[in-house]
Structure 1
Amino acid sequence: MGAVTTDADDERVERLPKQDRSRATRQRLLEAAVACLAERGWAGSTVSVVAERAGVSRGAAQHHFPTREDLFTAAVEYVAEERSTAIRELFPQGTAAADRPAVISALVDLYTGPLFRAALHLWVAASNEEQLRPRVTELEARVGRETHRIAVELLAADESRPGVRETVQGLLDMARGLGLANLLTDDTGRRDRVIAQWSEILDREIRG
Structure 2
Amino acid sequence: MRSRLMEATVELLVERGFGGTTTTLVSERAGVSRGAQLHHFPTKNDLVVAAVTHLSDRRGAELAASAQRLPTGPDRTRAVLRMLGDHFASPVFSAALELWVAARTDPALLAAVAPLEQHVGREVHRLTVELLGADESVPGVRELVQATLDLVRGLGLANTLGDDAPRRSRILDEWARVLDAELGRSAPRPGTGRAERDEKEPSR
**TM-score range with shorter-chain normalisation?**
0.7 to 0.9
Separation in 2 of the partners of 1:48 and 1:71? 12
Paired residue for 1:3?
A: none
Alpha-carbon shift at residue 66 of structure 1 (Å) = 2.1
Paired residue for 2:148?
A: 171
Aligned-residue sequence identity (percent) comes to 49
Instruction: Judge conservation of contact 2:71–2:79 (CA < 8 Å) in 1.
Output: no
Say if 2:164 is the partner of 1:187: yes
Paired residue for 1:38?
A: 14
Alpha-carbon shift at residue 115 of structure 1 (Å) = 1.3
Instruction: Judge conservation of contact 2:27–2:37 (CA < 8 Å) in 1.
Output: yes
Paired residue for 2:78?
A: 101
Q: Which of 142, 150, 167 is the matching residue for 2:119?
A: 142
Q: Which of 173, 179, 196 is the matching residue for 1:202?
A: 179
Letter matched to residue 88 of structure 1:
A
Separation in 2 of the partners of 1:93 and 1:153? 14
Instruction: Judge conservation of contact 1:95–1:155 (CA < 8 Å) in 2.
Output: no
Alpha-carbon shift at residue 94 of structure 1 (Å) = 6.4
Alpha-carbon shift at residue 97 of structure 1 (Å) = 4.4
- Aligned length in residues: 184
Letter matched to residue 47 of structure 1:
T
TM-score of the aligned structures, taking structure 2 as reference length: 0.84
Query: Residues 151-204 of structure 1, C-alpha deviation per residue, up to 9 Å, x if partnerless?
Result: 111112111211111111111101111011111232222211111111112112
Q: Which runs of 5+ in 1 are unaligned?
A: 1-24
Map 1:111-126 onto structure 2 (within 5 A): 111-126=88-103
Separation in 2 of the partners of 1:64 and 1:153? 37
TM-score of the aligned structures, taking structure 1 as reference length: 0.83
Q: Which of 18, 32, 51 is the matching residue for 1:75?
A: 51
Letter matched to residue 71 of structure 1:
L
Letter matched to residue 141 of structure 1:
Q
Instruction: Judge conservation of contact 1:97–1:203 (CA < 8 Å) in 2.
Output: no
Separation in 2 of the partners of 1:93 and 1:129? 40
Letter matched to residue 41 of structure 1:
G
Say if 2:39 is the partner of 1:50: no
Paired residue for 1:155?
A: 132
Separation in 1 of the partners of 2:105 and 2:156? 22
Query: Residues 77-104 of structure 1, C-alpha deviation per residue, up to 9 Å, x if partnerless?
Result: 1111111111211222665342111111
Instruction: Judge conservation of contact 1:30–1:74 (CA < 8 Å) in 2.
Output: yes
Separation in 2 of the partners of 1:94 and 1:116? 22
